[in-house]
Amino acid sequence: MIKLFSLKQQKKEEETSGKSSSSHRRSSPALLRITKDLNELSLPKTCQTLFPDPDDLLNFRLVIMPDEGFYKNGRFSFCFKVGQGYPHEAPKVKCETMVYHPNIDLEGNVCLNILREDWKPVLTVNSIVYGLQYLFLEPNPEDPLNKDAAEVLATNRRLFEQNVYKSMRGGYVGSTYFERCLKN
């Protein structure tokens, strides 16, 4: 049996102390789901999350530091913006590190199917993390955003590898300058 008086008393006490039980009820489905996803996140040792505002779980950063492949020893930062439509809509993910990559353009847009047409509400942040990490292990020249990088990868792997290393050290690839992104 619900004791109406005790509920009213509890609400009155919370209001006087500045806490409101209604704030707990106002948690959006997106916030509830992202909280669950982040609690269940199992990051590999090559990844870490950063929360510029610890009270805002809907906006955070993921740093990927590949330990193999073309991008070994690089440090790449991604910005995640989780909208109120999550998990029915994919988070918006942008690469903040300018990178010479066939699937990431120079503005930071990422070509990853689960962030667009193949997104399903059962997918989680963990799925995105592993998808992004896979892009660094196996860049895909068949589905490019950076067509120049894709063409070089498809036609001359050695030159692609040299361009990646040159860009990660900090320097020009063609007429585009890349900031250093190698781990120290």
Q: 44-75, pLDDT tens digit by residue?
A: 999 999 999 999 999 999 999 999 999 999 99
User: pLDDT above 70 covers what percent of the chain?
Assistant: 85
Q: d(Cα 76, Cα 127) in Å, to the nearest integer?
A: 18
List residues with catalytic annotation. 111
Task: Answer whether residue 38 is part of any domain.
Answer: yes
Nearest alpha carbon to residue 113 among 136, 97, 90, 95: 90
Task: Answer whether residue 176 is part of any domain.
Answer: no
Q: 131-157, pLDDT tens digit by residue?
A: 999 999 999 999 899 999 999 999 999
Task: Answer whether residue 4 is part of any domain.
Answer: no
pLDDT at 23 over 60: no
pLDDT of residue 24: 45
pLDDT of residue 13: 59
Q: 87-113, pLDDT tens digit by residue?
A: 999 999 999 999 999 999 999 999 999
Task: Answer whether residue 58 is part of any domain.
Answer: yes
SS (H, E, C) 118-170: CCCCCCCHHHHHHHHHHHHHCCCCCCCCCHHHHHHHHHCHHHHHHHHHHHHHC
DSSP state of 53: S
Task: Answer whether residue 113 is part of any domain.
Answer: yes
How many domains does the structure of the chain reveal?
A: 1
Note down the domain range covering 32.
28-171
> Which residues lie closer than 8 Å to 180 by C-beta, 6 or more apart?
168, 169, 170
Task: Answer whether residue 144 is part of any domain.
Answer: yes
pLDDT of residue 97: 98
Task: Answer whether residue 7 is part of any domain.
Answer: no
Give the up-direction half-sphere exposure of residue 39: CA atoms within 13 A in the CB hemisphere.
6
Q: What is the pTM of this model?
A: 0.84
Domain containing 41 — which CATH number? 3.10.110.10
Nearest alpha carbon to residue 7 among 15, 162, 55, 181: 15
127, 110 contact by CB (below 8 A): no
Task: Answer whether residue 22 is part of any domain.
Answer: no
